[in-house]
Structure 1
Amino acid sequence: MPSFRPLATALVLALAGAALPAPASAQNFFEELFGIGRAARPAAPPRPAAPAAPMDAPPPAADPRPAAPPPAPRPVVIKAPSDDGAIGQDLLQNGSAGSLKLERAQGGLTARVTLEGTRISQPIESCRVSLSKGAPLALTDQGRPNGVTRLASSDPVCPLRMEILEGSVLVTPLTEPDICVFQAQDCATTPKGLWGPGAASLVTRAQEFDGARGAADRAVRENYRVMTQRAKREEIRPIVAEQAAFSADREQMCRAYAREGVHGFCHLRITEARVLSLATRLGLTVSTAPTASNAPRPVRRRPPPVEGMNPGFLDTGE
């Protein structure tokens, strides 16, 4: 009986040739059939996937743009002192000597002033002189050229300029030098300085004055900065010299105030006056009414502690 193996092989090859019309397809078929095609090749390693961005990652940054220039500094103004804070108060020169009391009269202001000094014939002895022989001294209102009320007296021997600050009066003699000599009373006086409350009443407010002075110092620096930026090149040096002179003059004036190193009242009032003067020169309107920046903030009181409860539990952190 003849063998059918060659006949079967020929039949398979014929069917394969009929199914693959192109020679390339036939070649591929035989490569796969005999294990030398793509199935026999090692698989290519998978490409590493790009790491996924975290869910909270910020969006990609935009193209960098040039930063905007910083805003130009703006002048600072504070609330001007009210005249009522000084009128009717018994003020002392440098918080320790003499007396000055402003009073209202016929729509204007008068002053009772007593000066302390030294005897001309005996400089080691002290003396006292009351201007206008103790009667109210007429004052002329000169407006607010530096942001605070300015008054002037016309005493023939000792004319004075007075500027009303917060709870005090800055006095400057209009004589040269700053000495008033009363020959009839054998007395020489130096009225220049800050006339304010006694030192004993100021010590308890030292922390308040210190915080307010920090704000006033920053306002002075900011206003000088604005002045230098607005000034011409040749005007900058005088402005810098003026600022340095102010600091030296303030120190010299306030060292005479009683216990100034403890409370700092004089430094604060002179600095506040400087802020108002510079603001006026920069064209700002000075007002005695509170503004949004200087209005007093309402005091928020903590609730009273509940009996049997830890007081710290009710602390709101105010």
Structure 2
Amino acid sequence: MRLTRVLLLLPVLASVPHPACAQSFFEELFGIGRAAKPPVPPRGVPSAPQTPVPSAPGEGGAPAASDAPKAPPVPRQPIVLKAPSEDNVMGQELMLNGLTGSLKLERAGGGTTARVVLPGNKISQPVEACKVPLNGGAPVAVSSEGRAEGVGRFEITGGECPLRFDVLDGAVLVQSVSGTVCTFAAADCATTPTGLWGPAAATLISRASEFEAARGGADRAVRENYKLISQRLRGPELRPVVTEQAAFSSDREQMCRTYAREGAHGFCNLRFTEARALALATRLGVNTSTAAPSASASSPRSRRKPPVEGMNPDTGGASFSDQ
């Protein structure tokens, strides 16, 4: 049968002028060689564009509505910090910015007195320092003004330099009622009593980690209480609160930048922030003298990781490969 097929093809092969053509003919006939390979399209011919398949919401492209960033939720209740008692500073000698001057609040019978020595500069020679004891160094009676801003407040209303004292934890925030500077012409001294009166820096350095941990809770209380009060108040009632909050960070920086070694302990920043959080809570209707501190006000304490296999306990948990 195969011989018969070859004999029939002989006339055709005779007409083919070149042996290569005959070989190609046999490859096409029997399906071998190049004929067995699929045709390859010529290079440079672009393929048909693929029609893009619409993606489901949230998969690439524009984000779905559910994926859009949401505003943080407004707390239901104010965050209340522990309000300091007035007794926590009684009998302690405090200094302006922990550096100079003297302030001591004391209980006297049924009232409170203050011994104050104000530091300043001479009027005639501003480069020279001076000090002025109020009332000649004798105790001055102060009046209690309640807790208008969430902390205990006392005032000296008479004399050449009326003062306001807001009692914080281990410190007193002093403001001059009559102006920034109190001038004592007879003593040739101009004083600037406004600022935080607290302990010397040497007594605060060892508590730096304690202040740093508490600062997180105080900052959060300020943010959450302001967020809540901005939802409850409207119009003219809200405007002063917004103004105060906008100036809060700069006021804190200006107040605390002169406190002795503030960068090493952060005492002033913490106390100023706590006072702001308590003031906002008071505007939200909280009685800070009786309200229990919120559990969420405290910062979570960092837990020490337990040692795991492969670590050297004699090097504080460092792995042997790190030594």
Q: TM-score range by the shorter chain?
A: 0.5 to 0.7
Query: For residue 127 of structure 2, what is the aligned residue in structure 1?
Result: 124
Matched, 1:74 2:90: no
Q: Does 1:133 align with 2:100?
A: no
Q: CA deviation at 1:271?
A: 0.6
Counterparts in 2 of 1:4-15, with a 5 A limit? Answer: none
Provide TM-score, normalisation by structure 1.
0.68
Task: State the 1:74 CA deviation.
Answer: 2.5
Cα distance in structure 1, aligned partners of 2:73 and 2:292: 29
1:200-259 Cα shifts (integer Å, max 9, x gaps): 111111111011011100000000100111122676565433212111111101001111
Could you give the per-residue CA deviations for residues 17-73 of structure 1, whole angstroms, max 9, x where no partner exists? xxxxxxxxxxxxxxxxxxxxxxxxxxxxxxxxxxxxxxxxxxxxxxxxxxxx96754
Counterpart in the other structure of 2:40: none
Partner of 1:96: 99
- With over 3 angstroms needed to count, the CA separation of the structure-2 counterparts of 1:288 and 1:114, relative to structure 1, is farther
SS at match of 1:163: strand
Equivalent AA in structure 1 for residue 260 of structure 2: A
2:232 matches 1:226: no
Local SS of the residue matching 1:77: coil
Correspondence for 1:251? 253
Seq. identity, %: 59
> Distance in 2 between the 1:71 and 1:210 partners?
26
Task: Determine the C-alpha separation between the residues in 2 that align with 1:265 and 1:256.
Answer: 12
Q: Secondary structure of 2:295's partner?
A: coil
CA–CA separation in structure 2 for the residues paired with 1:290 and 1:75: 11
Q: In structure 1, what is the Cα distance between the partners aligned to 2:131 and 2:156?
A: 19
Matched, 1:172 2:175: yes
Deviation at 1:126, TM superposition (A): 1.1
What is the alpha-carbon distance in structure 2 between the residues aligned to residue 234 and residue 180 of structure 1?
33
Q: Is the 8 A contact 1:171 1:194 kept in 2?
A: yes
Question: Secondary structure, in 3 states, of the residue corresponding to 2:286?
Answer: coil
CA RMSD across the alignment: 2.7
For structure 2, which runs of at least 5 residues remain unmatched after alignment? 1-71, 299-311, 318-323
Alignment of 1:96-115 (within 5 A): 96-115=99-118
Q: TM-score, normalised by structure 2?
A: 0.67
Q: 1:70 & 1:162 partners in 2: Cα distance?
A: 36
Greater Cα shift, 286-295 or 213-222 = 286-295
Q: Does 1:268 align with 2:270?
A: yes
Instruction: Show structure 1 runs of 5+ residues with no match.
Output: 1-68, 297-309
Q: Looking at CA atoms only, which structure, 1 or 2, has the larger radius of gyration?
A: 1
